[in-house]
Structure 1
Amino acid sequence: MKSPEPENPARPPPGVRLCALGELPDPGSRGFRFRHDRYMFAGFVVRQGHEVKGWVDSCPHNGWPLSALDDRYLTREGDRIICAAHGAMFRPADGLCVAGPCADDHLTAWPVAVVGGEVVTGPF
């Protein structure tokens, strides 16, 4: 798993509520965008059971957002994250690319957690 990206003033601070756990399908995903002046931070969360992981919305192959459509980060089976640009596939548990041009690379983690039924930003 890649370490967090360089400091971005648009990245939300720890403790920001993203959504209720119940608002995420199981399996499911949801994207989030934050702006501060000319900066933007894009991230998404993936739910599988009671586990929720957060990732920076940037493909390690080309830096583009992974999803062409809002909240569509997973394969139809819900078992892999997929890049809409070139079909790279990543494991939701650790962000490892298991197929595509960035094989063996990782998504950049975005720390999130479920606290009292709410998905919130970290670090944790």
Structure 2
Amino acid sequence: MSEAEEAAPEERKRVWTTPANVPLCAEADINDPGSRGFVLQIGEAFFHGFVVRKDGEVAGWVDRCPHAGFPIAMELDRYLTPDGSLIMCGWHGAVFEPLSGACVGGPCAGGKLTPWPVEARDGIIRTA
């Protein structure tokens, strides 16, 4: 076996839920409209999600496109269209309503993002 094969990293274990009441960031850390990605280590596994802030509300989503299973953003924290009106999958162009997660265009039209329960309380966004 070559050194490259030996040095290849192991695939990270993934989880799809998080415990409640984990502080993520200050509400003011995310513009309105805006978004931010989070990777949480839970035991030996990792959760990948993102939070959208729009019209004074927050919504959390598992960072996985229902079309092909890829992460939504191609660049760090770039989950929204330039005008902030929709979530856009950078890989295939699917677009989603920011607060409902409903796919309103692209290859997974009629589908939906997987919700990640979050809430804004006392100026802090945390898992719910």
> By how many angstroms is 1:39 displaced?
2.2
**Stretches of structure 1 lacking an aligned partner (at least 5 in a row):** 1-6
1:83 aligns with 2:89: yes
Measure, in 1, the Cα distance between the counterparts of 2:45 and 2:91.
23
1:111 aligns with 2:117: yes
Normalization by structure 1: what TM-score? 0.87
Measure, in 1, the Cα distance between the counterparts of 2:35 and 2:60.
10
**Stretches of structure 2 lacking an aligned partner (at least 5 in a row):** 1-13
- Aligned twin of 2:65: 59
> By how many angstroms is 1:99 displaced?
0.6
Runs of 4+ in 1 over 4 A off after TM superposition: none
Would the aligned equivalents of 1:61 and 1:101 in 2 still touch at CA under 8 Å?
yes
Normalization by structure 2: what TM-score? 0.85
1:121 aligns with 2:104: no
1:13-45 Cα distance to aligned partner (Å, 9 max, x none): 100000001111110000000224552210000
- Aligned twin of 1:95: 101
Q: Identity of paired residues, percent?
A: 49
> By how many angstroms is 1:65 displaced?
0.1
> By how many angstroms is 1:50 displaced?
1.6
Measure, in 2, the Cα distance between the counterparts of 1:77 and 1:115.
26
Aligned residues: 115
Higher relative contact order (CA 8 A, sep 6+): 1
Structure with higher Rg: it is: 2
Would the aligned equivalents of 2:18 and 2:42 in 1 still touch at CA under 8 Å?
no
Instruction: Read off the aligned partner of 1:88 and give its amino acid letter.
Output: A
Would the aligned equivalents of 2:51 and 2:58 in 1 still touch at CA under 8 Å?
yes
Secondary structure of the residue that 1:70 maps to in structure 2? coil
Would the aligned equivalents of 1:32 and 1:42 in 2 still touch at CA under 8 Å?
yes
